[in-house]
């Protein structure tokens, strides 16, 4: 297989490790299971090319704007779900993501609808637009490392402790004076902004943005699957999960994609069930348990 195949695999693994890390921040630390991260991912993917076309601004500015827009939507979601508890947060995120997807398809004048946008930008660093794959690997790797580092930092920060306390017992946390809404809103916004950045990089890399590849419901499931496989609530879980899930998905798609339409999704669904039932703590949890057992035996 060509070098491009491997590069492609690595870039996507890094991007999805980052997006899953963003999801994990909210789900693993705060116990809020979003199934709407496709909305943030898609906003991130669409914003840079749309802004570049409309205002001629550089991609970097578009990435920042996309992250800000996603964070703003996240704040609305946090506000709306203020009084609800599991599992309504999940349903609300699904609803928001669907609204974003439908609107992206509907406003053809801006987004070209389901046809999708081809990215044609001035090559160079300002737009981070290259024909070569290497620069994207660099960017994706920095992104993934950045997200994981940030998650590790947050985990040990005051926000991290607050999120964990809210996850364990919301009422107790509230009665101890933890600002529950603020903690949750902050986590949702950071998570959304990070996921949007992943979407931006994905869009720039594939040079094509359409609702199917950036806003579909399966893209909301993807970061969840990756994180659960890797280890929910562990900073390294998403990286481990992405390193396993993305290559397998890639291979499945290249083997069966054209011939047996649906087989890839069938395996995806069954794998999700199998992981949940066999390894509910994911690879990290499984490894830890194993090590713990050996230590105890010794």
Partner 1 sequence: MLGQVLVSGILVGGIYALVAVGLNIVFGVLRIINFAHGEYLMMSMYGAYWLWRMGIDPYLAAFLVVPAMALFGALSERYLVRYTLAAHAHVKIFVTLGLSIALQNLALLLFKADYLNVRTSYQTSTLDLAGFAFSVPRLVAFGALLVTAASLYAFLRYTDFGKAIRATAQDATTARLMGIDVERVYMVTFAIGAAVVGVTGCLLIPIYYVFPTVGIDFVVVAFVVVVLGGLGSIPGAIAGGLLIGIVEQFSGFFVETSLRQVVYFLIFIAVLAVRPAGLFGQRGAEEIGLK
Give yes or no for a contact between 17 and 242, defined as CB atoms under 8 angstroms apart: yes
The closest of 25, 4, 79, 63 to 224, measured between CA atoms, is 25
Give yes or no for a contact between 48 and 66, defined as CB atoms under 8 angstroms apart: yes
Under rule CB under 8 A, residue 27 binds partner 1: yes
Under rule CB under 8 A, residue 255 binds partner 1: no
Q: Which stretch binds partner 1 (CB under 8 A): 60-68, 89-97, 135-143, 176-184?
A: 89-97
The closest of 133, 160, 221 to 29, measured between CA atoms, is 160
Minimum distance from residue 106 beta carbon to partner 1 (Å): 6
Number of chain positions touching partner 1 (CB under 8 A)? 48
Site for partner 1 in 197-236 (CB under 8 A): 217-218, 221, 224-225, 228, 232
Give yes or no for a contact between 241 and 282, defined as CB atoms under 8 angstroms apart: yes
* DSSP conformation class of 29: I
| Distance from the Cα of residue 66 to its chain's centroid | 14
Q: For residues 212 and 64, give the distance between their C-alpha atoms in angstroms, rounded to a whole number.
A: 23
| Identity of the residue, 14 or 240, whose beta carbon is nearer to partner 1 in the bound complex | 240
Under rule CB under 8 A, residue 34 binds partner 1: no
Q: For residues 51 and 121, give the distance between their C-alpha atoms in angstroms, rounded to a whole number.
A: 11
| Identity of the residue, 52 or 100, whose beta carbon is nearer to partner 1 in the bound complex | 100
Site for partner 1 in 118-137 (CB under 8 A): none
Under rule CB under 8 A, residue 47 binds partner 1: no
Binding site for partner 1 (CB under 8 A): 27, 31, 33, 35, 79-84, 86-88, 90-92, 94-96, 98-99, 102-103, 105-106, 217-218, 221, 224-225, 228, 232, 260-266, 268-273, 276-277, 280
């Amino acid at each position: 297989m060509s070098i491009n195949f491997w590069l492609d695999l690595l870039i996507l693994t890094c991007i999805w490790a980052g997006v899953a890390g963003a999801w994990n921040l909210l789900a693993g630390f705060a116990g809020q299971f979003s199934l709407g991260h496709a909305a943030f991912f898609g906003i991130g993917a669409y914003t840079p090319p749309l802004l570049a076309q409309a205002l001629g601004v550089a991609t970097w500015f578009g990435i920042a704007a996309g992250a800000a827009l996603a964070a703003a939507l996240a704040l609305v979601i946090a506000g709306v779900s203020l009084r609800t508890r599991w599992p309504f947060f999940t349903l609300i995120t699904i609803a928001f993501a669907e609204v974003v997807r439908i609107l992206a398809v509907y406003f053809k004048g801006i987004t070209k609808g389901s046809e999708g946008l081809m990215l044609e930008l001035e090559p160079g660093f300002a737009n981070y637009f290259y024909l070569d794959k290497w620069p994207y690997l660099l960017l994706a790797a920095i992104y993934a490392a950045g997200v994981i580092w940030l998650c590790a930092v947050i985990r040990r920060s005051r926000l991290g402790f607050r999120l964990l306390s809210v996850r364990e017992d919301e009422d107790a946390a509230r009665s101890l004076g933890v600002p529950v809404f603020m903690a949750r809103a902050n986590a949702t916004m950071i998570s959304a902004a990070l996921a949007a950045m992943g979407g931006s990089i994905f869009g720039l890399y594939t040079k094509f943005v359409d609702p199917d590849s950036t806003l579909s419901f399966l893209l909301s499931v993807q970061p969840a699957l990756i994180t659960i496989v890797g280890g929910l609530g562990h900073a390294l879980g998403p990286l481990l999960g992405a390193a396993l899930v993305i290559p397998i998905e890639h291979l499945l798609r290249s083997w069966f994609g054209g011939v047996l339409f649906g087989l890839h999704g069938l395996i995806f669904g069954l794998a999700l069930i199998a992981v949940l039932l066999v390894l509910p703590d994911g690879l990290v949890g499984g490894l830890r348990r194993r090590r713990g057992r050996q230590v105890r035996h010794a």
